[in-house]
Amino acid sequence: MIYVSVRTFEQLAEAMVVGTEPFNVLLVLAVLKLRRTRPALPRPYRIPGYPWVPLVFLVAMIGVLLNALIEHPDSTLLSVGITLLGVPIFALLRTFVRKM
């Protein structure tokens, strides 16, 4: 709530992009890896222009993230830090669920 109350709409929109784009990059990397490591799995959909379209997407998203880091390093690092706070929380919850 503090994070939202002290930022402008533009800063929140930028933080949303910076916070979600790494996950989109990971998703595309997972598709590329899955297609390479398990080619026999059924594919419910095809990516047109595979593998070039996902690779162009990766380059564009990495460019967006680098641009955000260059233009607004403080807010970008804050957004990345807040996103990374989810890692220890996820690990704790996963450990807690396994014990149940």
Tokens of 63: 């460019």
DSSP string, the chain: -HHHHTS-HHHHHHHHHHHHHHHHHHHHHHHHHHHHH-TTS--SS--TTTTHHHHHHHHHHHHHHHHHHHH-HHHHHHHHHHHHTHHHHHHHHHHHHHH-
pTM score, two decimals? 0.74
* C-alpha torsion angle, residues 80, 81, 85, 91 (rounded to 10): 70
Question: pLDDT value at position 47?
Answer: 81
Q: Where are the domains of the chain?
A: 2-99
Nearest to 18 by CA among 71, 55, 54: 71
Q: What is the mean pLDDT of each run of 10 residues along the chain (100 residues)?
A: 84 85 91 92 86 94 92 88 90 88
